[in-house]
């Protein structure tokens, strides 16, 4: 490589670094959010375009807005985007992905993100009279969930 072109290449790379940093915290997908459940202090939405059948049941993206800031370590947040795996027959769900945002409607730079797969999913019951229960009931009515696999 020509030694005169090297400084130009270095400048070009340096100019792209801010964009690379932004790529690590992408803007959440816009989604077709429909309000499904409310309780004192929170409202849950389902991205209607995200509901799909998977091996374990159904998968759906969910946004939760909190009316007051919630504490996360030394920071606060007002919204969360989760991707749930839902077992309709068992009335349970698990977080596949979880991203926490400081502002409502998934606004601001994410504070935390986590994901789990397969055997690492942590399942919880979704009682009928709860936000989780209302989400599960709605999503299960939208898609035909496969039967729950037999336990081995």
CATH assignment of the domain containing 60: 2.40.128.710
Q: Where are the alpha helices (DSSP H) in the chain?
A: 5-23, 131-142
12 has a pLDDT exceeding 80: no
| Domain assignment of residue 147, yes or no | no
Domain of 67, in residue numbers:
33-142
Of the ranges 3-12, 34-43, 111-120, which one carries the lowest mean pLDDT score?
3-12
pLDDT of residue 150: 45
Residue 12 lies in a domain: no
30 vs 109, residue with greater confidence: 109
Indicate the pLDDT class of residue 117, thresholds 50, 70 and 90. Answer: confident
Contacts of 141 (CB under 8 A, 6+ apart): none
Q: Is residue 112 part of a domain?
A: yes
> Residue 4: which pLDDT band, with cuts at 50, 70 and 90?
low
Nearest in space to 93 (alpha carbons), one of 38, 18, 148 = 148
């Amino acid at each position: 490589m020509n030694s005169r072109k090297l400084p130009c290449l270095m400048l070009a790379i340096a100019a792209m670094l801010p964009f690379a940093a932004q790529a690590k915290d992408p803007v959440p997908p816009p989604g077709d959010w429909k309000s499904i459940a409310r309780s004192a202090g929170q409202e849950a939405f389902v991205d209607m375009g995200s509901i799909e059948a998977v091996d374990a049941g159904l998968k759906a993206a969910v946004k939760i807005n909190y009316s007051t800031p919630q504490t996360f370590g030394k920071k606060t947040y007002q919204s969360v985007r989760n991707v749930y795996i839902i077992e309709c027959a068992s009335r349970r769900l698990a977080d596949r992905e979880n991203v926490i945002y400081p502002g409502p409607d998934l606004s601001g730079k994410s504070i935390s993100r986590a994901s789990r797969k397969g055997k690492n999913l942590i399942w919880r019951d979704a009682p009928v009279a709860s936000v989780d229960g209302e989400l599960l009931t709605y999503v299960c009515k939208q898609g035909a969930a496969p039967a729950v696999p037999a336990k081995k």
